[in-house]
Chains A and B, each alone.
Chain A
Amino acid sequence: SAVISQKPSRDICQRGTSLTIQCQVDSQVTMMFWYRQQPGQSLTLIATANQGSEATYESGFVIDKFPISRPNLTFSTLTVSNMSPEDSSIYLCSLRQGSTDTQYFGPGTRLTVL
């Protein structure tokens, strides 16, 4: 399986600021996703990061709050904009390779907003 890395691994931010999370994969992948995991909760899909085009957002998530870029097949970024304490979560990058169903997750970025 592909190796997924995320930066930063954790951060503490002030409300009203923005943070950009990077996801790097060691091989080209077809599908990349961004998930949110609120404290003690399950995983919720934020959006599918489409290479060379706008991301596809799930209900309840908007581009102005969570802008996503995917300039190539191995890299994507998620920005959490105008943060509030409610944005404190683990943000996870995920991928599928080829046309398989198998999905892998990165180590996550642990965000605390004060």
Chain B
Amino acid sequence: GENVEQHPSTLSVQEGDSAVIKCTYSDSASNYFPWYKQELGKGPQLIIDIRSNVGEKKDQRIAVTLNKTAKHFSLHITETQPEDSAVYFCAASRGSGNTGKLIFGQGTTLQVKP
């Protein structure tokens, strides 16, 4: 079945450094790739998403890149701050509005040290 692999499982960086989290997916029909941030005691919050018709998307300090040929996508956080510390989940789906089901990666615990 569909599978999403996420690496690394934990990531520790110094404040101000960049952080990169990578995901690979197995279903070549996947065309929608969201990223969620989950802080302790809260539900997942959508931070950025990308569709298969674009290769990169940026929103301030956050960017996502997609390589459809290699079936992998990555989250890039620049100028990290302590408040970026959280668990990050990637996901993939076939989209298509109502029919797509999100398949989640295993999560990455990001720690930003002041």
A interface vs B, CB < 8 Å? Answer: 4, 30-31, 41-45, 92, 96, 98-108, 110
Q: Which of A43, A99, A100, A108 contacts B104 (CB 8 A)?
A: A43
Q: Which of A30, A100, A105 contacts B44 (CB 8 A)?
A: A105
A99 touches B105 (CB 8 A): no
Considering the chains assembled together, what is the distance between the CA atoms of A44 and B49 in angstroms?
Answer: 19
A-B contact pairs, 14 of them (CB 8 A): A42-B105, A43-B44, A43-B102, A45-B101, A92-B44, A98-B97, A101-B32, A101-B34, A101-B51, A101-B95, A101-B100, A102-B49, A105-B46, A108-B43
Q: Which of B97, B101, B104 contacts A42 (CB 8 A)?
A: B104
Residues of B within 8 A of A41 (CB): 106-107
Chain A interface SS verdict (over half): loop
Report B87 CB to chain A, min CB distance, Å. 9
B residues contacting the other copy or chain, number (CB 8 A): 24
B interface vs A, CB < 8 Å? Answer: 32, 34, 36, 41-46, 49, 51, 89, 93, 95-98, 100-102, 104-107
Report B2 CB to chain A, min CB distance, Å. 11
Residues of A within 8 A of B49 (CB): 101-102
Q: A99-B97, A101-B95, A103-B34 known; A42 and B46 CB under 8 Å?
A: no
Residue of A nearest to B90 (CB): A42
Residues of A within 8 A of B43 (CB): 4, 92, 105-108
Residues of B within 8 A of A99 (CB): 97-98
Residues of B within 8 A of A103 (CB): 34, 46, 102
Report B62 CB to chain A, min CB distance, Å. 16
Report A96 CB to chain B, min CB distance, Å. 7
B36 touches A105 (CB 8 A): yes
Leading 5 A-B pairs by shortest Cβ distance: A99-B97, A105-B43, A101-B32, A101-B95, A107-B43
